[in-house]
């Protein structure tokens, strides 16, 4: 029983971001980082060929092994010994991204139209890099801590976009083919991108555009400020911990 316990714990230690002196864990981190980067290569090519299929197959096999190993050691990850730990882990964001990243391999065995859409899930492989970078782990922890503030800012942005879209849609109805076009205009205005493909022609419409751009600079800056402040607090906390 003790040997099984130690074996399982060792798997968990290897899977997690390597600690100082743990060569096996560090080697595994490098292997997975290379696999993730290689697994993104098919996204740079048009269509599929024998090389992209081999990449998808080999990388997906490695990701599947990694996924089940992480589920197997979920009780260590979640911090409590119970079957609920395994269930809880499966529904964590990174576990979901891990599962989505292996779905493209289904197209190799079932090349039908619906399943072919799974090939788009290759992009989720880049999110796996989060757990293999200590800096990204810190940023992920920071975002997790301030998620309520970020959600509040996101809600504010969405509300403002729809209010602006409704106003401009009523003031210049001939400018838009649909309300979605008005939402598109409001989004690029609040982000201050301004492609120029849709431009208000009335004075009131241009006034709304200017206000939207000014509000956008303030609102879009909020998440950056929140994350930066939390990140600096996390770095200071870690430095203080090491000094002690």
Domains by residue range for the chain, with CATH: 2-132 (1.20.120), 148-243 (1.10.287.70)
- Nearest-angstrom CA–CA distance, 178 and 25: 54
Q: Is the pLDDT of residue 136 over 60?
A: yes
Q: What is the pLDDT of residue 113?
A: 59
Q: Which residue has the tokens 């197959």?
A: 57
What's the chain's average pLDDT? 80
Is the sign of the CA dihedral 207, 209, 213, 218 positive or negative?
positive
SS3 state at 47: coil
- Nearest-angstrom CA–CA distance, 162 and 165: 5
| pLDDT tier for residue 11 given thresholds of 50, 70 and 90 | confident
Q: Is the pLDDT of residue 244 over 70?
A: no
Q: What is the pLDDT of residue 20?
A: 60
Mean pLDDT for 190-216 is 79
Q: What is the pLDDT of residue 206?
A: 83
Q: What is the pLDDT of residue 18?
A: 57
Tell me the two tokens of residue 244.
Answer: 């002690």
- Nearest-angstrom CA–CA distance, 102 and 71: 15
Q: What is the pLDDT of residue 50?
A: 83
Mean pLDDT for 152-156 is 88
Tell me the two tokens of residue 135.
Answer: 């800096």
pLDDT tens figures, 212-227: 888 877 877 888 888 8
Plot region of 192 (φ>0 → left; ψ -120 to 50 → alpha; else → beta): left
Q: What is the pLDDT of residue 190?
A: 81
Q: Is the pLDDT of residue 90 over 80?
A: yes
**From 46-60, 82-96, 131-145, the region with the lowest mean pLDDT:** 131-145
Q: What is the pLDDT of residue 33?
A: 87
Backbone angles phi, psi at 81, to 5 degrees: -95, 100
Q: Is the pLDDT of residue 5 over 70?
A: no
- Nearest-angstrom CA–CA distance, 230 and 27: 31
């Amino acid at each position: 029983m003790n040997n099984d316990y130690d074996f399982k714990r060792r798997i968990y230690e290897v899977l997690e971001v390597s600690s100082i002196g743990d060569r096996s864990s560090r080697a595994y981190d490098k292997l997975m980082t290379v696999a993730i980067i290689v697994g993104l290569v098919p996204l740079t090519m048009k269509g599929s060929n024998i090389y992209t299929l081999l990449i998808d197959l080999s990388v997906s096999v490695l990701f599947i092994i990694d996924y089940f190993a992480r589920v197997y050691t979920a009780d260590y990850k979640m911090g409590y010994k119970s079957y609920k730990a395994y269930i809880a882990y499966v529904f964590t964001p990174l576990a979901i991204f891990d599962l989505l990243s292996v779905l493209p391999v289904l197209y190799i065995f079932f090349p039908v139209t619906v399943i072919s859409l799974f090939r788009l899930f290759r992009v989720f492989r880049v999110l796996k890099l989060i757990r293999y970078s200590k800096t990204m782990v810190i940023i992920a922890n920071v975002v997790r801590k301030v998620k309520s503030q970020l959600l509040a800012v996101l809600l504010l942005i969405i509300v403002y976009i729809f209010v602006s879209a409704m106003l401009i849609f009523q003031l210049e109805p001939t400018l838009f083919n649909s309300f979605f076009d008005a939402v598109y205009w409001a989004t690029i205005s609040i982000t201050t991108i301004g492609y120029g493909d849709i431009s208000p022609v009335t004075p009131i419409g241009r006034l709304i555009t200017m206000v939207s751009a000014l509000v956008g600079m303030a609102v879009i800056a909020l998440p950056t400020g929140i994350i930066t402040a939390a990140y600096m607090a996390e770095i200071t906390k870690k430095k203080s911990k090491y000094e002690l």
